[in-house]
Amino acid sequence: MKKNLTTWSVVITASLLFTTSLEAQIGALNALKNKAKSVSEKVVDKATDRNESSDDSSKLETKPAVAIAAEDMKDGQGYFFTTFKANWYKSEVTASEELYIRMQLGKTMIEWSQEKGIQADYTAYGFITVYIDGEKVFMTKPISFASNISKQWVYIDIPLNVSPDFLKQIESDQSMLETQQDIWMFQQLFQENSIPKQYGAAAMSKLASGNHKVKVEFGLGQSDSKEPMAVICTGDVAVKSPEGGSNALSKYGPKHLRPLNEDEKGLFQFATASFEPGTSDISAVLNLPKPPKYYNMKWCQASSCDYDHGYIEFYVSIDGKPLTAWSKELDGDDYQVTKQFNMTILPKTDAGYDVVEAPFNSSKLYEDTNPIAYALWDMLYGGKLSQGTHKLVIKAYSRQSIPLNTAYEFEAAYFAKWPAIAETSIDLIINANTITNLSTASSSKKLSHASGDWVAVDNHLKQSSINAQVVDVATKTEWKVVTNSLGAILYRTCKADVVYTGEYGTRLQKGVLVKEDYTGGASYGKPYFAERIEISHGPSLLGTMHIPVPLSKMK
């Protein structure tokens, strides 16, 4: 039966709607049951052995399990178990134990829906909501239960914290899967955002140490409901966790949340703990105990991460607010061997700010341009950093520990969820003359204007409305005439550099497309910007083509 596990996982993960073909599969599983002894007894024995391991959390004293028969379970009450299909429920558990809850509905979902005035003839829509210490940590979207479930089930088993060897148990003894309830539970392990994954992420964040309370609700609603329209069953359990409980939880929780041991943590090393911008280069050395590949392998979420290349992610904040984030692909020795990387945080001046070849852009950890330097210049020149001390925090992550693309999840709370490879903070000291001195030393220059007919083009473009104040425009190229397939003139284009002042300060955007439409008789209409000027881009999206500049140098 071992060789059939892959087939089972594909079938089971396909849908939440159990069809007649699934009924046949269940029948085959029931046939296997006769060849094995009581599953409940076997799993209880295995759980007992596992719970007596050297894990610190297992040494915490908790209330003993209480035996209960199905007929004695109260309707509307949830019962917590620490082994799959056990006959013993608990009112108190340790954080790292397996955890399942049986929601004793007492009636079918359709019957409950009709009683609560919820429209449901064949399909019921269920919600599972979990609270930790009174705070709602997650709620599923409406789960569709077809008629062979909604009209039959009078209870529902929900997996919360599932041990890594659960799948191994099923692989060695598939008779564990006997009913639709079992297959529902097994299927939860494979969903992209399954209940165990959501619970594991919440538990590792909230149950690190101390005494806690977990409450689970099962409610019903409709397919478009944002919240359950009626809660029909609820249960709660006390959870104990020792100091460092996240380490114990990591053995059960989502792999990408596993915390680092002390000997795995890296460090951004600075010359001193505080700097004043403009007085010297601000540089750092990223020291890692292990090469980048080690960390991607540690948190690998794919079937394999054993490649000669891979990504690491970076996030920088200032005063607790996001400043910039980026990804960098490393390969060869830089990925598999190297453990030390040099990087410039902010050079003394912005000399070379408009070329990729500038020394401060040369770190192996950047993609062409230094995202921290451009973001900080934007904040400094734009007057967004007041006098005083500002805390700059820089973090490095494995791509495997962050579920989504960092460019689209640019929030401090998002990055706070994931274990960082390295994390260090430094203080930036802004004095009364810091901004003035930086602006004076800036290599920025006024735009150079072409003469002749280009003067009128520049002056007209200066009056353009772009939801920001246009400071200056300088066209940079000759006109390029564009024709259709028959040779008829359509329009002509050129490029222009544009200086504008907006929400973040003064910036230069280079090479903006300008167009003049052909009006006939060798004449063209007025010039206009045919390309978006990205005034809404925050400091994190600047570089050598979109550059922060001091206004005093550009007027």
DSSP letters spanning 279-343:
SS-EEEEEE-SS-HHHHHHHT--SS----SEEEEEEEEEETTEEEEEEEEEEETHHHHT--EEEE
Distances (CA, A) of 116 to 108, 222, 228: 12, 12, 11
3-state secondary structure of 391: strand
Q: What tokens were used for 43?
A: 């799993």
Domain limits of the chain?
2-255, 260-438, 454-554
d(C-alpha 51, C-alpha 47), whole Å: 6
Q: What is the pLDDT of residue 35?
A: 31
d(C-alpha 78, C-alpha 74), whole Å: 8
Q: What tokens were used for 256?
A: 């990408």
The fourth-level CATH superfamily of domain 260-438 is Macroglobulin (MG2) domain (2.60.40.1930)
Q: What is the pTM of this model?
A: 0.69
d(C-alpha 527, C-alpha 475), whole Å: 11
Q: What tokens were used for 544?
A: 């050598």
d(C-alpha 355, C-alpha 233), whole Å: 63
3-state secondary structure of 437: helix
The total number of residues written for the chain in this structure: 555
Low-confidence ranges of the chain (pLDDT < 70): 1-60, 164, 167, 171, 174, 176, 243-248, 250-254, 403-408
Question: Which residue bears the tokens 């309707």?
Answer: 75
3-state secondary structure of 81: strand
Q: What is the pLDDT of residue 304?
A: 80
Do β-strands 230-241 and 92-94 pair in parallel, antiparallel, or remain unpaired? parallel
Residues 6 or more apart whose CB falls under 8 angstroms from that of 87 comprise: 40, 44, 67, 68, 69
d(C-alpha 256, C-alpha 297), whole Å: 10
d(C-alpha 32, C-alpha 482), whole Å: 74
Q: How many other C-beta atoms can be found within 10 angstroms of the C-beta atom of residue 288?
A: 20
Q: What is the pLDDT of residue 60?
A: 67
* DSSP code per residue over 396-433: EEEGGG--S-GGG---HHHHTTS--SEEEEEEEEE-TT
Q: What is the pLDDT of residue 243?
A: 67
Q: What is the pLDDT of residue 288?
A: 97
Question: Which residue bears the tokens 């029948």?
Answer: 27
